[in-house]
Structure 1
Amino acid sequence: MKAILAALALATPALVLAQQSPSAGTTPATTAAAPAKESAAKPKAKPEAKHETKHVTRHETKRPVRHVAKKESESTRRQNLKSAAVNAAAGVEAAEAALTPAELAIAEHVYTGKLPCELGESVTMTPDPQSPGRFDLQFKKARYHLSPVPTQTGAVRLEDPKSGAVWLQLPGKSMLLNEKLGQRLADDCHNPQQATVAERMKEHPGPGLFGPATSTAGASGATK
């Protein structure tokens, strides 16, 4: 009997250990399953990120393209308008470019540069590089585009039909008139050569082409 009790006493701890060992073995499996579930749940967030990225990319790229297209269309329209204006100006220049040999001969005798006038005024005569035989005259803030016109008196006459300006160049002086307004804008304009002739005429006066009482209309008519 004592031997049986001793055997039971020895077997009892072994049974207790056998019952506890499965529960201890299930704990790591449970903990291992938890990370697996978390890892399986994490990849689901990637498609959402891709969807947001695509949405943002499409939204950001479409607007600049439309804006650039509008700018290009506006610049193209401006270039077309500018080229049309240039072509129109070229047509006008081509239409007025046909000067006769007599008119070109007159242009060769026009004095150019800055010419002092009476009352402290001055004019600046510059050849038009785009239209040989024609000149640009600057007087104060006004600018005239002048073309040579033949005369019967031999005086050099340049006219701007648009403004009515007339430039008369004589041996001893030049003057700027406005036939439309009936005004003499600048008088006694001269270059060094004309100044020399004017001094000589003072020493040896003769019948002048323009007297003090000569009107502007008569002066311009006398040189036609």
Structure 2
Amino acid sequence: MAIHRNLMLARLVAAAGASLFLLGAQAASEPQRKAKPASAKPAAVAPVPLNDEELLLSTQVSIGNIPCELGQSVNLRADADAPGYFHLQLKNQRFHMRPVASATGALRLEDQARGAVWLQLANKSMLMGPGQRLADECMSPLQAAYAEHLKHNPAPNLLDVAQKSR
């Protein structure tokens, strides 16, 4: 009887050990779930403050919902948290733009991190992405009016002006 009791006890210990082993193996195979910190959002990088020239350029940017060719539209709005910066959205693409001085006279906004450039001329704007044009023939109401004016009053050809001055 003692042998039978010892055999039963040995089986019980073996079963308990096997259960503990299986529980340990299951726990090891499950991914560790750590408590997330209260702010799971990545910290936003503070934009670089603009100089006086860039702030002046930012006052000339046409903002709002700007229609473009092919039925597209760009939504351009001032960044309330960063003076002189803008949020630009084209469909599901979002850019954080800053004004950049341009030698050509075009108003230029850039999102250097994403490689996007918004060029604003007197009569139209366009959005360039890395190696491609994302939106073209974008016109605010003021730009559309100026484009219409140019149809009836074209700007003089620079070559003609240079010849007349000789």
1:186 aligned onto 2:135: yes
Map of 1:157-176 to 2, 5 A cutoff? 157-176=108-127
Q: 1:134 aligns with which of 85, 107, 116?
A: 85
- Deviation, structure 1 residue 201: 0.8
1:122 aligned onto 2:83: no
Pick 1 or 2: higher relative contact order, CA cutoff 8 A, min separation 6: 2
Deviations 1:94-132 (A, max 9, x none): xx2311110000100001100001111100001111111
Tell me which amino acid in the other structure corresponds to 2:127: L
Deviations 1:173-212 (A, max 9, x none): 111011x2x211111111111111000111122368xxxx
Rounded to whole Å, the distance in 2 between the matches of 1:205 and 1:139 is 31
Deviations 1:135-165 (A, max 9, x none): 0101011001101000112211000111111
Aligned length: 124
Q: 2:149 aligns with which of 200, 209, 214?
A: 200
1:78 aligned onto 2:27: no
1:106 aligned onto 2:65: no
Secondary structure of the structure 2 residue equivalent to 1:154: coil
1:148 aligned onto 2:99: yes
Deviations 1:34-59 (A, max 9, x none): xxxxxxxxxxxxxxxxxxxxxxxxxx
Secondary structure of the structure 1 residue equivalent to 2:146: helix
Secondary structure of the structure 2 residue equivalent to 1:78: coil
Secondary structure of the structure 1 residue equivalent to 2:89: strand
Larger radius of gyration: 1
**Structure 1: 5+ residue runs without aligned partners?**
1-72, 209-224
1:23 matched residue in structure 2: none
- How does the TM-score come out when normalised to structure 2? 0.69
Rounded to whole Å, the distance in 1 between the matches of 2:113 and 2:147 is 32
Aligned structure 1 segments of 4 or more residues deviating by more than 3 angstroms:
none
Secondary structure of the structure 2 residue equivalent to 1:111: coil
Rounded to whole Å, the distance in 2 between the matches of 1:174 and 1:193 is 12
Rounded to whole Å, the distance in 2 between the matches of 1:207 and 1:177 is 28
Whose strand fraction is larger, Structure 1's or Structure 2's? 2
Rounded to whole Å, the distance in 1 between the matches of 2:109 and 2:54 is 10
**Structure 2: 5+ residue runs without aligned partners?**
1-33, 158-166
Tell me which amino acid in the other structure corresponds to 2:154: P
